[in-house]
């Protein structure tokens, strides 16, 4: 199961690192072998621009990334 999340109407009060114009964010983690190896993290200057379709597409992309041979990117291959 992929645990993605949306952040809307961000306060940018130092708890979340973002530009002062960022109002929303969608983050989809990438897990390989139970280890988080990265994420797709998209910010927006609009409030609530991301849809369930965006989330589904980005989850699909992350799943496809996990199928790639990424061992050349790591000192300790996965």
Strand order in the sheet with 35-44: 5-8, 24-32, 35-44
Query: Using one digit for the tens of pLDDT, what is the confidence trace for 35-45?
Result: 888 889 888 88
Specify the number of domains making up the chain.
1
CATH code of the domain containing 9: 3.30.450.40
pTM value? 0.71
Strand pairing of 24-32 and 35-44? antiparallel
Is residue 13 assigned to a domain? yes
What is the pLDDT, as a whole number, of residue 78? 55
| 15 in any annotated domain | yes
39 neighbors 30 (Cβ within 8 angstroms): yes
Tens digits of residue pLDDT in 22-63 = 888 888 989 888 888 888 988 888 888 889 999 999 999 999
């Amino acid at each position: 199961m992929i645990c993605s999340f949306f952040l809307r109407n961000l306060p940018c009060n130092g708890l979340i690192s973002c530009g002062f114009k960022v109002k929303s964010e969608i983050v989809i983690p990438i897990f390989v072998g139970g280890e988080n190896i990265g994420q797709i993290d998209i910010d927006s200057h609009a409030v609530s621009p991301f849809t369930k379709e965006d989330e589904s597409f980005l989850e699909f992309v992350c799943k496809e990334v996990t199928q790639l041979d990424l061992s050349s990117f790591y000192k300790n291959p996965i």
